[in-house]
Chain A
Amino acid sequence: MIDYLLESLAVLRANGIRTFLAILGLSIGVAAIVSVQILGYAMSGAVSGSLNMLSNRMFLIQPNSQQSNYRTAGMTQRDLAAVRNTVPGVREVYPLFFRQGIVRLGHRRIRLMLGDVGNAQSLTTPLAAGRYFTRTDLQERARIAILSHNAEKRLNPNGAEIIGQSVRAGAHTYRVVGILQKPATGIISSFVHFTPDVAIPYTTAVRQYMQGAKYYGAAVLVHHVAELNHAEVQTIRLLKARKGGKVSYETFDRKQAAQQLGSVFGVLSVVVSLIGGISLLVAGIGIMNILLVSIAERTREIGIRKAIGAKRSQIMLQFLIEAALLAFGGSLLGCIIGGTLGAWINAAYIIKISGVIVPVPWLGALELAVIFATIVTLAFGTYPALRASRLNPIEALRYE
């Protein structure tokens, strides 16, 4: 066995450039697949990590946007009050409000997102300083705000004391009572629930911006996770009944978000895996080609070996080992390239974006490489090896 190995190594070394190209081709395919696997792993880890930071006691409700009477389905203050008062388990209901605008602190003017929140549970990031809105704040429609980390940095770049100061947005003024920590979950969590830069109590938002308006989105907070699904069903049923049954609503919660994100990443990784698979196929054909060329060049040698008494299986083994060396060389190189690439993207982007540290599964990548190498060896090495083993020794010996 060692002799076969040494023999194959000598042959491959003698054809250095060809060997290198074959290995490189395969390693690119393997690298693509390995890096996608690592990224998929890191992303799903990041997604579930991010989602864990969101309240699992909240769902969003909105009119189904596909229906023709979308406008009639708009929710009034009374509708929301009915949900809050009659749907079992519901603790708080508030309409969603978001508006881009210039926010001023002193003479600094920054374009930021103003939005409303119900209470502490609807803010997904912990406080860095100050306090949350209290029940009294909500009741009194206090003109106060909690700033996001981003808003605080941009409005207050010098780092002066900002709690107690006032920010202006349009015609309104809010006293800053709290500052949030840097969000651990930026882009991914924003897909699930947007945290405004300047958060004001929802009661204040209703008074100042949504007086008498219809709402096309609301957040519902329940007391216990176990009540969430039931509350979703009941809320939809109640709102439908209040609109005479001619409209439809849809809800959105963490579980659904996870599913949607999962399917997005699923599609993504299928696409990239497909590309990797195709390049793997091309690389495999490349390896098959190099083996066929090698066999053609060594026809006479094969003839000599057979004349001396080599069996078919012995000739076959020799070329399979050559294929395996190429396949394992390429796959391991691909594993290293793909793993490094995946680890780098994970560190540079995914961890930065999500704040969730998912370690790179090197062992899994290695396993993958070994599996690919074996498949490539058998799928693309068998035919050339078989061909070599079946050469007629008399004709092979005559070959120049």
Chain B
Amino acid sequence: MNNPSNNGVTRTPPAIDLRDVTKTYHLGSLEVPALRGVSFTVERGEYIAIMGPSGSGKSTLMNLIGCLDRVTGGTYVLDGIDVANLDDNQLAEIRLRKIGFVFQGFNLLARTDALKNVCLPLFYAGVPAAERRRKALAALAEVGLEDRAHHKPTELSGGQQQRAAIARALVNDPTVLLADEPTGNLDSKTSEDVLALFARLHESGRTIVMVTHDAEVARHAGRIVRVRDGLLVEEALHA
């Protein structure tokens, strides 16, 4: 289950399938090619680290994978759905159901306790209040934060905040968990905790795509993808 692509034939479509994807930003009349033809497949259950120097296009790639932005050229099929040409509302729906975001800066809502933060995706999905609470508590339990449900972000440590954010990312049972430098704001001890959590999630079948510049962090992933100047330069299979 961890690596269904091993036998070469899969019944289920890959989680992520990018073909010749380009992304060009327009700064006035200036064209900034951030991605210049990226083809890249992530099978279900894979744990992938994306590495590369600053400005190489990692975040751009993550924004595209996360359906926060649209490709300029090429195709993108997410969980069997062609998302390259969806409108804003459809993209929001995809983000809601198929994507779980984990950010470097946690990005929890400040005035809102952990439970409410985790409830948010369920709320936008139209889940009734009682079920929201039940599912959110289950997600918090999954990241080991059930006893901090009613703490506000300011009352949580960095590691706890990130775990709450991971619970929020998981609560709608997304196709992929996207993490952009998830340990960037954490000390090495709490980084280990978060990475251990990722490993556990990976073992339980989650698909994870993580951006990092730290080789130590990347080593936890099953596969490392390197980005340089808007191109994938190397795919080192390592587990």
Q: Which residues on A are within 8 Å of B, measured CB to CB?
A: 3, 10-11, 14, 300-301, 303-314, 393-394, 397
Interface residues on B, range: 20 to 34
Query: Given A394-B63, A394-B68, A308–B103 Cβ distance below 8 Å?
Result: no
Q: Which of B76-134 contact A (CB under 8 A)?
A: 88-89, 92-97, 99, 101, 103, 107-111, 120-121, 123-125, 129
- Closest-by-CB residue of B relative to A400 is B105
User: In the assembly, what is the distance between CA of A307 and CA of B180, in Å?
Assistant: 13
Cβ 8 A contact of B88, one of A300, A301, A312: A312
Cβ 8 A contact of B107, one of A10, A14, A310, A397: A397
Q: Is B20 an interface residue (CB 8 A)?
A: no
Q: Is B69 an interface residue (CB 8 A)?
A: yes
User: In the assembly, what is the distance between CA of A3 and CA of B125, in Å?
Assistant: 13
Q: Is B58 an interface residue (CB 8 A)?
A: no
User: In the assembly, what is the distance between CA of A303 and CA of B168, in Å?
Assistant: 15
Query: Given A3-B123, A314-B124, A397-B103, A309–B109 Cβ distance below 8 Å?
Result: no
Query: Given A14-B111, A301-B109, A394-B63, A310–B68 Cβ distance below 8 Å?
Result: no
- Closest-by-CB residue of A relative to B126 is A314
Q: Is B230 an interface residue (CB 8 A)?
A: no
Cβ 8 A contact of A308, one of B89, B96, B110: B96
B182: chain A residues at CB < 8 Å are: none
User: In the assembly, what is the distance between CA of A303 and CA of B103, in Å?
Assistant: 12
Cβ 8 A contact of B124, one of A10, A310, A394: A310
Q: Is B66 an interface residue (CB 8 A)?
A: yes
Cβ 8 A contact of A309, one of B69, B103, B110, B121: B121
Query: Given A314-B124, A394-B68, A309–B107 Cβ distance below 8 Å?
Result: no
A314: chain B residues at CB < 8 Å are: 124
Q: Is the CB of B88 within 8 A of A309?
A: no
Q: Is the CB of B96 within 8 A of A307?
A: no
Shortest beta-carbon distance from A10 to chain B in Å? 6
- Closest-by-CB residue of B relative to A13 is B111
B92: chain A residues at CB < 8 Å are: 306, 309-312
Q: Is the CB of B68 within 8 A of A308?
A: no
Q: List 9 A-B contacts (CB under 8 A).
A: A3-B123, A14-B111, A301-B110, A303-B107, A307-B95, A308-B96, A309-B96, A310-B96, A310-B124
**Which 8 pairs from chain A and chain B are nearest by CB?**
A309-B96, A309-B95, A311-B92, A304-B107, A310-B124, A308-B121, A393-B68, A307-B101
Q: Is the CB of B89 within 8 A of A309?
A: no
B129: chain A residues at CB < 8 Å are: 3
Shortest beta-carbon distance from B131 to chain A in Å? 14
Q: Is the CB of A394 within 8 A of B121?
A: no
A304: chain B residues at CB < 8 Å are: 107-109
11 further A-B contacts with Cβ under 8 Å, apart from A306-B68, A310-B92, A310-B96, are: A304-B109, A305-B120, A307-B95, A308-B96, A308-B120, A308-B121, A308-B124, A308-B168, A310-B124, A311-B93, A311-B124
Q: Which of B51-74 contact A (CB under 8 A)?
A: 63, 66, 68-69
